[in-house]
A and B are shown apart, each in its own frame.
Chain A
Amino acid sequence: MKLARDTWLIFQRQLHLLLRNPVWVFVGVFQPVMYLLLFAPLLKPALNAPTQAEAYKIFVPGLLVLLAIFGGLFQGFGLIAELRAGVIERSRVTPVSRLALLLGRSLRDVVSLLAQAVIITLLALLFDLRVFIGDLLLAYLMLALIALMTSAVSYGVALKVKSEDALAPLMNTVAQPVLLLSGILLPLAFAPGWLQGVAKWNPFSWAVDGTRALFNGDISNDRVWQGLTIITVLAAAGVYWAARQFARSVR
């Protein structure tokens, strides 16, 4: 009860501050929109897809997962600014739930990611993408869990390193292989065997496969529940670890 109340308080504040400067939501969505407009048209011939809509069914889910991963991983920068301003310390001397300090922030990130995902989906509809609403909602759940995990991890790391200079290369180092090994830009079906083998160990490649299956209307595909399960477990672990960073005494 106290956790829910505290989380709501933090969430409200963070969302309020975001809405005061909503331009950031659009800045965040700018890059994926560029991919959608300038890169996706290459895919129909490249993937040998029968129609443009087929190519989008493969590309858009990957793009959304990409957005969730990157959007989340870079949230830590905001927290470092808050650390520097003393806002985190001010919260930590109050009896507020430490988990709420994390969840309130991460849930704000999830909401902002979902807003961006809706914008991308609507744009893709203009390019003849068609998805069943039920499948789409389940895909959004996957995205929400990914964003929850990556933003929590980003906050946890930010609390540990406490400086933008350390956070940026760290996050890039993590994000690049994760991105390339998840078949986000092109499906790993094209990959040689060894690369597919390595990618099997990347949880995000399961998430991408699951999301693609959902966009394809293939809800009974095993990759859907497998991807959701893997991401749920990782999100719980990420939140647990990051919440401990909030609770731990920092100098």
Chain B
Amino acid sequence: MIETRGLRKSFRSRAGRETKTVEAVRGVDLDVTAGEIFGFLGPNGAGKTTTLRMLATLIEPDGGQATIAGADLLKDPGEVRRRIGYVAQGGSTWDESTAREELVLQARLYGIGKAEAQRRAARALAAFQLTEFADRKCKTYSGGQRRRVEIALGIIHEPKIVFLDEPTTGLDPQSRAHMWDEIRRLRTDGMTVFITTHYLDEADALCDRIAIMDHGEVVAEGTPTDLKREISGDVVQVGLDLAATGEAEKLLDGEEYVNRLEVLEEGGLRLFVDEGATAIPRILRRIDGAGLDLKSIELHRPSLDDVFLTKTGRSLRES
């Protein structure tokens, strides 16, 4: 549904007398399949929004190629516009207009006739539970309501693919969970959804596949599960008395499925293994067989932050 090769963009910025060229996006290759929620994850300033704005025809790439919903981005941006929807990060509604007016106008800007535009607006308002506020001015809406109007605006022309730039930034937890449901519903309706986010949990919970971007480049791509498995396996934490810890360490250190082992100061071990599910029974058997008193056992799965840390050397939370 989206295929990009070597997409590039640099900006010139002036600091004093010197002009500096900032390479915001340096050669991005992406393959997004129809019907998936594709997440674009990375810290602020990584080039996510620039890439998104290129794909949405808002800025012209300096180089590279892209095909979006079958149309060539560089040769035929007009056709791309007809096939995509785009919801900006900073909002797109006018305080003094009502949701219905905005929706009807937006549909009409896509060339849809007046009667059909009104029908679609009514349908979108119902689908996003906005009918009640439809004829109130946008400035009276809550953050979550406003965001729903904006998403409705982005899909009023029934695009094949919709780009959502940080759709949940600034929403309270409840509205956020609500928004996730709305986004999943878009996928159910057959749309391909491309979102950017800097929330790890969002990428993890919502996206079928993700690409991690840093300093203008894609540093990793895959399903959240694959990415996590690929980098660090699982961590099994074993709770033991201080006395038993030393003995357990000797027992488990040589096991071939244990990649690395850490001794905890308060007693107990952290075992780095490829797959926790198969390692746990073996660990249990070893400890039990030696007659040691096992107090607890926990399985930690690595987070996307661990993935980010491995790929970039920084934690997403710090950057």
**Shortest distance from the beta carbon of A166 to any chain B beta carbon, whole Å:** 15
Which residues from chain A contact B60 at a C-beta distance below 8 Å? 249
Contact: B58 with A94, CB < 8 Å? no
Q: Which 10 A-B pairs have the closest CB atoms?
A: A86-B92, A90-B92, A94-B109, A93-B86, A96-B109, A249-B59, A95-B81, A86-B91, A86-B88, A87-B94
Q: Does B84 contact A (CB under 8 A)?
A: yes
Whether B78 is near chain A, meaning CB under 8 Å from some CB there, is yes
Q: Mark B50-78, 1 if CB is under 8 A from A, else 0.
A: 00000011111000000000000000001
Within the assembled complex, what's the spacing in Å between the Cα atoms of A90 and B82? 13
Task: State the main secondary structure of chain A at its contact with B.
Answer: helix
Contact residues in B for A94 (Cβ distance below 8 Å): 81, 106, 109-110, 157
Minimum C-beta distance from A22 to chain B (A): 13
Residues of B bordering A, CB below 8 Å: 11, 56-60, 78, 81-82, 84-86, 88, 90-97, 101, 105-106, 108-111, 153, 157
Max chain B Cβ within 10 angstroms of own Cβ: one of A86, A89, A93, A249: A93
**Contact pick for A90, options B108, B111, B153, B157, CB 8 Å:** B153
Q: Write the chain B residue with the least CB distance to A87.
A: B94
Quick one: given A82-B94, A89-B92, are A95 and B106 in contact (CB under 8 Å)?
no
Q: Are B11 and A95 in contact (CB under 8 A)?
A: no
Write out the residue numbers on chain A whose beta carbons fall within 8 Å of the beta carbon of B92: 85-87, 89-90
Is A6 an interface residue, CB under 8 A from the partner?
yes
**Which of A2, A9, A95, A250 has the most chain B CB atoms closer than 10 A to its own CB?**
A95
A13 to B86, CA, bound (A): 21
Q: Which positions in A face B, CB cutoff 8 Å?
A: 2, 6, 9, 13, 16-17, 20-21, 82, 85-87, 89-96, 249-251
Known: A93-B58, A93-B81. 8 other contacts (CB 8 A): A6-B109, A13-B97, A16-B101, A85-B95, A86-B88, A86-B90, A95-B81, A95-B82
Nearest B residue (CB) for A13? B105
A17 touches B97 (CB 8 A): yes
Contact A85 B93 (CB under 8 A): yes
Q: Note all chain A residues with C-beta closer than 8 A to B101.
A: 13, 16
Distance in angstroms from A109 CB to nearest chain B CB is 17
Chain A residues, Cβ within 8 Å of B81: 93-95
- Contact in complex: B57, A93 (CB < 8 Å): yes
For residue B139, give the distance in angstroms from its CB to the closest CB of chain A.
Answer: 10
Give the distance to chain B from A81, nearest Cβ to Cβ, in Å.
9
Other-chain residue from A20, A85, A89, A93 in contact with B84 (beta carbon distance below 8 A): A93
Query: Which residues from B are CB-within-8-Å of A2?
Result: 111
**Which of chain B's residues have a CB closer than 8 A to the CB of A16?**
101
